[in-house]
Structure 1
Amino acid sequence: MAATLTMDEVAKHNTKEDCWVVLYGKAYDLSKFAKVHPGGAKLITNAAGMDATAAFDPIHPKDIMEKLLKPDIMKGVVDPATITEAHKAKGPAAHKPAPKKKTKSSSVDDEVMEEFKKPSLNLMLNTFDFESVAREVMEPQAWGYYSSGGDDEITLRDNHLAFQRITMRPRILVNVKDIDMRTSFLGAPASLPLYFTATALAKLAHKDGEVGIVKAAAKAGVTYMLPTLSSYTLDEMLEARSPGQLMFAQLYVNPERQRSEQYVKKLEAAGVKALFVTVDAPQLGRREKDMRSKFTQQGSDVQDGDEEEGAVDRSQGAARAISSYIDAGLCWDDVPWLQSITKMKVLLKGVQCGEDAVMAYKAGLGGCVLSNHGGRQLDTSRPGIEILPEVMEALREAGATKGDFEVFVDGGIRRGADIFKAVALGASGIGVGRPVLYALASYGVNGIVKMVHLLQDELQMVMRLSGTPTIASITDKHVLTTNLCDHIVPLPTDNLSARTYESLRPAARL
């Protein structure tokens, strides 16, 4: 049984060498963990001997300590009657000042700073509109984490551009008066072939975080893949569900396999439809926008140089620091174990070639997601949509059918036409990640619902203009992929994408 402590006892452990911090009524010894904390040691040591719940809660899930750290760091339960206001570390400011943006002066040719005025939700016409607003309203560190890609961000950008290398081949004089976008995922009905893929730390976008995404998915009739690295607990996300809401779940396998097994069993007991095991991240990528934001974060010490704590390499940003909680030893030999711990269908998320898709099929898995982790892992790897024809051909040659093995794809989807093209090439479902976060950051739950409606409207239009009244009627005969794998084909400039993309910049040009 955990010891009962007073806050005065905790307050004695108030140095960086002896650093206890109270979170949700429990005292934790974070003396060692502070040295590898993603945001730097000072964010923890500044709260040494104090109750840091108010500062911790806006970003982290309540159960992250138990989920990621060893039990022996919990030193006891703190008597709430002994906690005063003086014992509480300050949380983030309640209100963020209105963001500024550069604009051209009406009287002179120079740039001036103006207060950004967020446009009304009804002015959002496409996913890029949400991204442009999110960039203005999000904290720089949050924007850096979400928008960053691996290394030179070649794959990040090509994920979207690849769809433009696929051209339409519409058919005419087809009765398209009624358009039916209904389909199924793994045998379960779905209102359209779109799902919200797992994304980490959604509270960085909006206080509603993953709970807001769950609610928006229910309102929009879209399946949501619950993330392992969420900013709400699994229980909180599950409690936000609507009756009968279809849900997937994503899993990073923990080096301590027992923890992953317990998590999976909890998902299964809650009625989650399928488990998507991330296999493209034995180490998380080198994302320079995220890394740079760590050097400017207020209260962080990642810029302190080579003095003691500063000698610890935390400059890799939030993403790389999470790597230590992901099992880099996961391999094909572990697939039977994954299948043995659940009755849910198990799929691999992050397949990037036909050979691995066939191996997954032959291993008896339920399917795979063609994904490069949103361009955040191995730069210059191929977009999922580019891999799709290769994978479908390999699976056909191996004798797989859609009933046996389903293929999903994510990365770069920004238009209803992108959804159409992925369906035409054989995808059962198409995942969107960043557009959900940007819509959430900009307008909350209503923003996500609006974003889905825009994609639905676009998909309906494309289906009608292509002569395909149902999802089942969309085939590879409706698109041309001649240029899909040719990366030197000149294309018209995608102005929306180009103007919302934030270019990487070297240190001297920041």
Structure 2
Amino acid sequence: MATISLQEIAQHDKKDDLWVILYGKVYDLTQFLPEHPGGQKIILKFAGKDATKAFERQHPPSIIDQYLSPDVCIGQAEVNNEEEELQEEETEEDKRVKLAREKMPRLEEMYNTFDFESVAKNILKADAWGYFNSGANDEISMRENHNAFHRIWLRPRVMVDVANIDMTTKMLGDKTSFPLYISATALNKMAHPDGEKTLAVAAGNQGVIQMIPTLASYSIDDIVGARIHPDQPQWFQLYVHKDRSIAKRMVEHAESKGIKGLFITVDTATLGRREKDMRQKYVHEGPAELQGEELNREGGVATASSGIIDMTLNWKDIAWFKSITKLPIVLKGIQTWEDAVLAARYGCAGIVISNHGGRQLDFAPSPIEILPEVMDALKREGLENSLEVYIDGGIRRGSDIFKAIALGAKGVGIGRPTLYAMAGYGFKGVEKLLQLYQDELEMCMRLMGARTIADIKPEMVDTRNLKDHFVANPTDYLAKNAYEKMVPRGNISKL
């Protein structure tokens, strides 16, 4: 491989002649530029330069070989023998984040999921917070995901021996310590340097299942390698690539690594309009070449996925997936009972009732609201034993888990809470978060008279107001404060 001088590389800094250095290799991205899912702006910013630091903040190195043809790598970059590379100048944003981290409360002061969210709001960089916390349009569905749980009331049973509580259950055949899994969320390295590897460690220590995302910051090999137990179950979430050969290769690789379930995301035929994330694209002006041009700002950081997803995905494709893998197939993003019935009839092993965390279609109903009608439809069609039903979105308390199980869910997934816990406190934070969920569920089961997960029944909850979106609810200040502007403070008790 030819060695190319830094001076030569610097001359190729235009849209029609663009080279970039990644991990010491030189790539000609001229033809790839208009196809980049994240838009042209970020590549042009590093035209003729080394983009490694910016690249590795979001992507694993393996993604280069996955999406770029080998012939775009044209040589090895000359080694810079100067004394030491100058440190990047500390920005005002860097200073703000540094100060906020210095004033963070201790991990012992985290008493619930909202405490982690409040801390994360202060210590994450603006682009990361905008990406993780954004919902579609007015973010009605995002907030409704949690608010809907407030319209379900409990019917406690007393005089039950609850000295011993067993929260263990099985999901897709694997035993878990309680019915919760860590759902797939993209670009975890924006929250913590170790990203998804952090979640693998925490999941293993707490006995829960981690779902690995397609758009992970680390390769699937790295994340699987981070497991603390060799038999630790993990699932894989798949965005179906419009190049089916790539999708096939990803599925086969996941299966070869011992992944236990394939979760196909089916609610992203197009990208939702996430305005909080989109606004971050206006923070810094783009390169001079793009001034005055119409930029694609439709998704902010989220556009990393928008250009690869196959919009032709349909029910007939289930047969194709079954032909390429023996993994149980679960459809993630079911939002009606009709589609739940179809999933069962097409032979899926399970479904996740989900509106993508309220990030796709605003006013899509909350998963917990859809769950009862899904279970009723499956029973009506004699399909209730044909597939496992999960939900994700808005689960913030152990009592939320209880309500979901009572209404028929096999388990629940959490996404944003793990990102927030990881952002502030690493794997210890995620472990504390999972322990809080488990402790709250245990307390709820005791006070409800349920000794095991199997003892949690539909008659233990009152859902008469579940579909009444306009019923007056007690104000949930913990959740409300997480969505309102807050002044950074050092003590969580003052938030």
Q: CA RMSD in A?
A: 2.5
Which residue is 2:12 aligned to? 13
Amino acid at match of 1:258: S
Q: Secondary structure at the match of 1:483?
A: coil
1:45, CA displacement in angstroms?
A: 2.6
Q: 1:264 is paired with a residue of what secondary structure? A: helix
Matched, 1:301 2:299: no
CA distance in 1, matches of 2:193, 2:253: 25
* Inter-CA distance 36–336: structure 2 relative to 1 (3 Å threshold): closer
Does 1:378 find its partner at 2:361? yes
- Counterpart of 1:508 in structure 2 is none
Q: Tell me the amino acid that sits aligned with residue 290 of structure 1.
A: D
Q: Distance in 2 between matches of 1:208 and 1:321?
A: 19
Q: CA deviation at 1:374?
A: 0.1
Question: What's 1:394 paired with?
Answer: 377
- 1:109 maps to none
Residue 228 of structure 1, aligned match among 181, 193, 214: 214
Mapped to 1, the partners of 2:426 and 2:101 lie a distance apart of 21
Cα distance in 2 for residues equivalent to 1:88 and 1:366:
53
Matches within 5 A, 1:12-411: 12-35=11-34, 41-67=40-66, 69-71=67-69, 74-78=72-76, 82-84=79-81, 96-99=94-97, 117-242=103-228, 243-296=230-283, 298=284, 300-301=285-286, 307=291, 310-320=293-303, 322-402=305-385, 404-411=386-393
Task: Look up the SS of the partner of 2:264 in the other structure.
Answer: strand
Residue 423 of structure 2: SS of its match in structure 1? helix
Structure-1 separation of matches of 2:334 and 2:101:
44
- Whether the 8 Å contact between 1:407 and 1:426 is mirrored in structure 2 is yes
Cα offset, 1:29, TM superposition: 1.8
**One-letter code of the match for 1:4?**
A
CA contact (8 A) 2:272 2:299 kept: no
- Give the secondary-structure state (helix, strand or coil) at the position aligned to 1:430: strand
- What code does the residue aligned with 2:286 have? D
CA contact (8 A) 2:192 2:423 kept: yes
Q: Residue 63 and residue 92 in structure 1: after superposition, are their counterparts in 2 closer, same or farther (change >3 A)? A: farther
TM-score (norm 1): 0.89
Please name the residue that 1:460 is paired with.
442
Cα distance in 2 for residues equivalent to 1:349 and 1:43: 30
Deviations 1:377-421 (A, max 9, x none): 01101111100001111111121244x310000000000000000
TM (normalized to structure 2)? 0.92
Do 2:141 and 2:363's aligned partners in 1 also have CA atoms closer than 8 Å? yes
* Aligned CA distance change for structure 1 residues 55 and 89 (closer, same or farther; 3 Å): farther
Query: Is the CA contact (8 Å cut-off) linking 1:124 and 1:130 kept in structure 2?
Result: yes
Whole-Å Cα distance in 2 between the matches of residues 281 and 92 of structure 1?
38
What secondary structure does 1:250 align onto? strand
Task: Give the letter aligned to residue 301 of structure 1.
Answer: G
Q: Is the 8 A contact 2:398 2:444 kept in 1?
A: yes
Shift of 1:13: 2.0
CA distance in 2, matches of 1:40, 1:331: 27
In structure 1, what is the Cα distance between the partners aligned to 2:43 and 2:302?
Answer: 18
Shift in Å, 1:366: 0.2
Secondary structure (helix, strand or coil) at the match of 2:14 reads coil
Q: Supply the distance in 2 between the matched residues of 1:40 and 1:351 (Cα, whole angstroms).
A: 29
- Alignment gaps of 5+ in structure 2: 486-495
User: What is the DSSP-based 3-state SS (H/G/I as helix, E as strand, rest coil) of the residue aligned with 1:119?
Assistant: coil
Unaligned runs of 5+ in 1: 102-113, 504-510
CA distance in 2, matches of 1:54, 1:500: 31
Contact 2:221 2:257 (8 Å CA) reproduced: no
